[in-house]
Structure 1
Amino acid sequence: MKKLLILAVSSSLLLASCVSKKEYANLEAQYKNTKDLLNTATVKLNSCLTDRAAAEARATSLQERLADMKQTNQDLIQSSKDLTMLTSKGATNLEKSLESLKEKDLKISRLQDALTKKDSVTLALVTSFKREVGINDPDIEINVEKSVVFISIADKLLFKSGSYNVTTRAREVLAKVAKVVNGKPDFECMVEGHTDNVPYNKGGVLEDNWDLSVKRSTSIIRVLQDLGVNPSQLIAAGRADYVPLVANDSPENRSKNRRTRIVVLPKIDQFYDMIEKEMKNLSEGN
């Protein structure tokens, strides 16, 4: 551009020496016009270059944004696939959990039914004992604890002091007990002997209160067996003086602790057989 300007000036000087003033003035005017056009073109060129650089920067930024959007779109697509998979698995797991809860509820319901049935039988048994044995006798106590029937009979009704021979009156009471037990062949009858804390010192084959409590239990069991009770239903047990009702601190309290307790309960193996049967029915979908 500078070379062109120098050439124009040289030409003007050369022509100035060769041309008239009028021609010189025309040439000078053309030079000025050309110079203005050149300046204008230069300004426009610089503006175009600036706009081009800005456009290229915008294009680069847009390309980067487009690449980010494409990556974000891919991530969203993958997340959607993962979410769909998780949702499907979650639905499956939820369905399995609900089925498991239904099965547990059914098991609990059937077990409750079984326990209710057992409680109903126990209640009927208590009613039978109270009717047959006679609850009005102060020396005989019948109650239920945790679905088990307990018949507690004072020793003064069963034995003489320090003896394990059953009295005549005791046979009358035990005959009523035997009648009810005989009507419940699916039940067991455990006879527990209890003493006070006075040491046994009468000699013979018995050494202490343990022996006395067990011997009294077996004596009652033999009477029940003589009255027709199935021996397989009978269990002998002795507790000596280790499970007192009250403190052994007076003759009256020691009398209360000397007792025989007859525990009537469903056969445990039959009860568990009933539970196993319910579990089997559940597993087979019945």
Structure 2
Amino acid sequence: MPSIRLLVLAPTTLFALGCVPQSQYDSLLMANNTLEENQAVVETERDEALARIDDAEARVSEAEARYASLQNEFGGISDQLGSSRDSLQAMRERLIKLEAGPLPADMAADLAQLAASFSDLLTFEKESGTVRFNSDFTFSSGSDVLKGATTEAISALADIMNAASAAGFECEVIGHTDNVKVSNPATRAKHKNNTYLAVHRAISVRTALVGAGVSPARIKVAGYGEYRPVVANTNKGAAQNRRVEIVFTSSTMLAELPATNEAAAPATEITTPIEVEEYEAPK
């Protein structure tokens, strides 16, 4: 700071020559000290500002590098998502086209023989791969407890399901009723409406199949109550609508679904009636 030093020397020299009063000298000296202090503050602030700029530039460089990395990573993920989307779409199209049946010849023949042996109890529809139990012979009115003869038929059905010809198949047990409302208080205490009764009957059939040795992982249950009749109901309902259907489908498609990272939940055996939501028929 040569200019400031010159300013300091000048009043000193003048004072030494006796040309400047002491008060003026003191004033000049104080001003000089103030300028030096201000300059020091300015230089400190400048250095701090430069440091902040350097830090900001470093962060910008890091952000640019990260952005470039993310772009590359996103490109790879985008390609993977596109491939997965194509695979899932192909799987969806195959699943949509999947229909129940036809069953292997040996399995279909065994089921046809089963239907012939218990002709008053069940029928077999080869085209759809469906075994249909007549509920009037399978259960007592308003009950989900299997009758004695039904247990024998279900045991024979379990043997067919456990045979080699049926190894690649699973089934869905579906309960149906007619449109006669559940009115008996004792029945309503256990089955609030026809949907409950249908589901509980399906569960009873599933439980019997599992008890006869069929893997529970191969059996699903459902109940539609009165809402999927096969014939028009009269004021007393219709016997054809009171039924439990067992629909066989290939499990091959399910095995081909893409695996996930989540551990599969263990199958839960259903042995007691469950709560189901009320369902209102369309007006």
Which structure has more helix as a fraction of its residues?
A: 1
- Scaled by the length of structure 2, what TM-score is found? 0.50
Q: Rg bigger for which structure?
A: 1
Normalised by the size of structure 1, how large is the TM-score? Answer: 0.49
